[in-house]
Homo-oligomer: A and B are copies of this chain.
Amino acid sequence: MLSERRLQVLRAIVQDYVGTEEPVGSKALTERHNLGVSPATVRNDMAALEDEGYIAQPHTSAGRIPTDKGYRLFVDKLAGVKPMTAPERRAIQNFLEGAVDLDDVVARTVRLLAQLTRQVAVVQYPSLTRSTVRHVELLSLAPARVMLVLITDTGRVEQRMIDCPAPFGEASLADLRARLNSRVAGRRFADVPKLVEDLPDAFEPEDRGTVSTVLSTLLETLVEENEERLMIGGTANLTRFGHDFPLTIRPVLEALEEQVVLLKLLGEAKDPGVTVRIGHENAHEGLNSTSVVSVGYGSGGEAVAKLGVVGPTRMDYPGTMGAVRAVARYVGQILAES
Interface residues of A (CB under 8 A from B): 100-101, 103, 134-135, 137, 139, 141, 147, 149, 151, 155, 157, 159-161, 224, 229, 233-236, 238-239, 245-246, 249-250, 253-254, 256-257, 338
Cβ-defined contact, B159 with A139, below 8 A? no
A7 to B160, CA, bound (A): 54
Cβ-defined contact, B234 with A239, below 8 A? no
Cβ-defined contact, B233 with A257, below 8 A? yes
Known: A233-B257, A253-B238, A254-B236. A155 touches B151 (CB 8 A): no
A94 to B141, CA, bound (A): 27
The 10 closest A-B pairs by CB, nearest first: A236-B253, A239-B250, A236-B254, A245-B245, A157-B159, A235-B253, A239-B246, A135-B139, A137-B137, A236-B250
Known: A238-B253, A257-B236. A147 touches B159 (CB 8 A): no
Cβ-defined contact, A253 with B239, below 8 A? yes
Say how far A235's CB is from chain B's closest CB, in angstroms. Answer: 5
A253 to B253, CA, bound (A): 11
**Dominant secondary structure of chain A at its interface with chain B:** mixed
Give every chain B residue within 8 A of A245 (Cβ-Cβ): 245-246, 249
Known: A134-B141, A135-B147, A151-B147. A161 touches B257 (CB 8 A): no
A253 to B250, CA, bound (A): 13
Give every chain B residue within 8 A of A256 (Cβ-Cβ): 235
Give every chain B residue within 8 A of A233 (Cβ-Cβ): 257
A114 to B135, CA, bound (A): 38
Say how far A280's CB is from chain B's closest CB, in angstroms. Answer: 21
Give every chain B residue within 8 A of A139 (Cβ-Cβ): 135, 137, 151
Residue from A103, A160, A249 having most chain B Cβ neighbours under 10 A: A249
Say how far A223's CB is from chain B's closest CB, in angstroms. Answer: 13
A254 to B155, CA, bound (A): 30
A103 to B250, CA, bound (A): 26
From A238, which residue of chain B is reached at the shortest CB distance?
A: B253
Say how far A161's CB is from chain B's closest CB, in angstroms. Answer: 7
A141 to B338, CA, bound (A): 13
From A229, which residue of chain B is reached at the shortest CB distance?
A: B103
A245 to B253, CA, bound (A): 14
A249 to B239, CA, bound (A): 8
Give every chain B residue within 8 A of A234 (Cβ-Cβ): 257
A79 to B101, CA, bound (A): 46
Say how far A171's CB is from chain B's closest CB, in angstroms. Answer: 14
Can you sample 29 A-B contacts with CB below 8 Å?
A100-B224, A101-B160, A103-B229, A134-B141, A135-B139, A135-B141, A135-B147, A137-B137, A137-B139, A137-B149, A139-B151, A147-B151, A149-B149, A149-B157, A151-B159, A155-B159, A155-B161, A157-B157, A157-B159, A161-B338, A233-B257, A235-B253, A235-B256, A235-B257, A236-B254, A239-B249, A239-B250, A239-B253, A245-B245
